[in-house]
A and B are shown apart, each in its own frame.
Chain A
Amino acid sequence: MTQSNLNNESVPHKERACCTRLVDVGVRLGAYIALEQVNLHVHCGELTAIIGPNGAGKTTLLRAIMGEVAHTGEMMFLSAAGPAHRQRPRIGYVPQRIEIDNSAPLTVLDLFAAAGTSWPLWLWYPRRIRAEARDALACVGAEELMERCLGNLSCGQLQRVLLALALKPVPGLLLLDEPLAGLDHAGTAQFYEIVSGLRRFMDLSILMVSHDLSAAAAIADRMVFIHNRSLLFEGTPAEVLQQPEVRNTFGLDVQTGGPELSVRTPPCPVNGGAAP
């Protein structure tokens, strides 16, 4: 399904897929250290899950990668075609949530037009926008939502629409910021299935902040654990979830491992790590 819709892009997959290497990356917000000493390698075509308690710095890391906040250290990007470079690849981003009241007259198609063209969307936009939106929405099974207002969508529908938006144009690096907060179980399963399918068919490099450990472990290739504003562990999901500190943080019983470790609301860090 997914394959047929998006692989006719002009840029070949191998050039698009982008490795990202962070060396000693840190973020300071005024005098506050929001993140420090993050060393991370996001491999091409792999899904890396970021886990950690609230306020640990997960979202800050994504914002640094996007360039929304300034960072220290080095950030290198590598596409299969050329040498490593500092210039950011095309980044697709799915926000945690969008605050929108249900009286807002903004349809899904309007959203694609706003992001895809600089023509004022209430006046006119090119016909390709509609086709592009239909293609992208088809990838996430949301074609029927095109004319609906954003404010009337359910959480799961909105997240799928935002995921579709992030795929247009196809990004070199896809960032998902806790895409499942507020989703019910069926919505979560469906969303993960879609993300997993996209990675397989489109060779996307994905970095995903997640609170659902078992679901993240099931689809992620790599997992990193961020705690107290620095990166503590990196490895396969099984390796990371074996670490005593990870298990303590999420309140996992050290004796039982395995897939039933689903923790939706992790505890807050001891020193209240939320930004001041």
Chain B
Amino acid sequence: MNGWYWLIDRLPFEWAHFPFMQNALLAILLVSPLFALIGTLVISNQMAFFSEAIGHATLTGIAVGAILGLSDPTWSMMGFCVLLALAVTVLRRYSKVSPDTLIGLVMAFAVALGVVLLSRGGGFAKYSGFLIGDLLTISPAEIGRLAVILLLVGGLWIAFFNRFLLTFLNRSLAQSRGVNIWAMEAFFACIVALVVAVSIPWVGLLVVNSLLIIPAATSRNLALNSRQYVLIAFCFSLVAGISGLVLSFYWGTATGATVVLVAMVLYAFSFLLKR
């Protein structure tokens, strides 16, 4: 960590001399590329609504943490989101309700339950920080935990990328190539749930899904093959993440939402350049 502080301190910018910005920069370098990578498959599999629902459902995870008396709700958020992701996967398999409706229902339930639990005695205001997130308060220890979880999940995502891709392209085709399609679907849902849940305190649940899908959507406008698709999304998310962080410093705005705005500007450019 000391090397990192030293390195960033050498940068000739005003913002680079504040420790909280140095921490936030490190966090954004972890979060945004991983979001972009996972987002490529979220978009390919048309799961944008699913990831949005998971983000909103963290409210219940926070409430569960508060009821259990946890000082830090991260673990309860992750647990609840993974449970919910698995529940949606199973319900999609066995119920005849269309996936859109199903996810809408699950999200409505989770959000309402979370709000009801958190607003007991009029105490919702103290949780409103989770709505917009605060990247600038992240501590080195929290960065460490974030890094371990994200790198672990990212490694799994990379290892299973081809199998996810085949499953989402055509389930029967994947089955014929020996892919365990049910395991892949459940596994991918858990990966999305984990990265979303672990990032919410820093990014905010209102915009977390945008970070997931905008870089991939941008890349889709430009890429000609899968390699370009993933790499362009990766680069765009880094550019948007860093410039959004710096802009939020000068503007005094919420970092997550500022990053999303920058990403949207990039998307608009890519749309104009569309192949």
Instruction: Identify the A interface with B (CB < 8 A).
Output: 62-63, 66-68, 91-93, 95, 98-100, 103-107, 109-111, 113-115, 117-123, 147, 149, 162, 165-166, 175, 177, 276
Contacts and interface: CB of A to CB of B under 8 A. Distances in A.
B158 A120 contact: yes
Nearest to B225: A107
B175 A114 contact: no
Interface stretch (B111-119, B132-140, B161-169, B246-254): B161-169
A110 B226 contact: yes
Contacts of A67: 175
B96 interface: yes
A16 B161 CA distance: 30
A123 B163 CA distance: 14
A62 B176 CA distance: 10
A115 B166 contact: yes
A95 B225 contact: no
Contacts of B230: 122
Interface size class of B (residues with CB under 8 A): 20 to 34
Contacts of B166: 114-115
Contact of A122 (B159, B175, B224, B229): B229
Nearest to B167: A114
Contact of B176 (A120, A122, A175): A175
5 contacts: A93-B175, A93-B176, A98-B173, A111-B169, A115-B166
B159 A107 contact: no
A121 B166 CA distance: 12
Contacts of A120: 158-159, 161-162
Contacts of B229: 105-106, 122
Nearest to A275: B96
A122 B171 CA distance: 21
A8 B159 CA distance: 31
Contacts of B224: 105, 107, 149
B172 A118 contact: no
A171 to B, nearest CB: 9
B220 interface: yes
Interface of B: 44, 96, 158-159, 161-163, 165-166, 169-173, 175-177, 181, 219-221, 223-231
B176 A92 contact: yes
B170 A98 contact: yes
Given A95-B172, A98-B169, A115-B166, 9 more contacts: A91-B176, A106-B229, A107-B226, A115-B177, A122-B226, A122-B229, A123-B158, A149-B225, A175-B176
B223 to A, nearest CB: 4
Contacts of B223: 105
B158 A100 contact: no
Contacts of A175: 176
Contact of A68 (B96, B162, B171, B231): B171
B177 A122 contact: no
A66 B175 contact: yes
Contact of B44 (A104, A119, A123, A177): A104
A103 B274 CA distance: 10
B225 A118 contact: no
A106 B226 contact: yes
Given A68-B175, A118-B163, A120-B159, A105 B169 contact: no
A63 B172 CA distance: 7
Nearest to A173: B176
Nearest to B163: A118
A276 B165 CA distance: 28
A276 B95 CA distance: 11
Contacts of A91: 176
A73 to B, nearest CB: 20
B231 A122 contact: yes
Contacts of B181: 68
A202 to B, nearest CB: 18
Contacts of B171: 68
Contacts of B169: 98, 100, 106, 111, 114
A123 B161 CA distance: 10
Contacts of A110: 225-227
A18 to B, nearest CB: 14
Nearest to B164: A114
B171 to A, nearest CB: 7
Nearest to A30: B94
Given A95-B173, A98-B169, A105-B223, A118 B159 contact: yes
A225 B166 CA distance: 31
Contacts of B172: 62-63, 66, 68, 93, 95, 177
Nearest to B220: A103
Given A95-B170, A98-B169, A107-B226, A113 B162 contact: yes
A62 B220 CA distance: 34
B176 A105 contact: no
A147 B225 contact: yes
Nearest to A147: B225
Contacts of B44: 104, 106
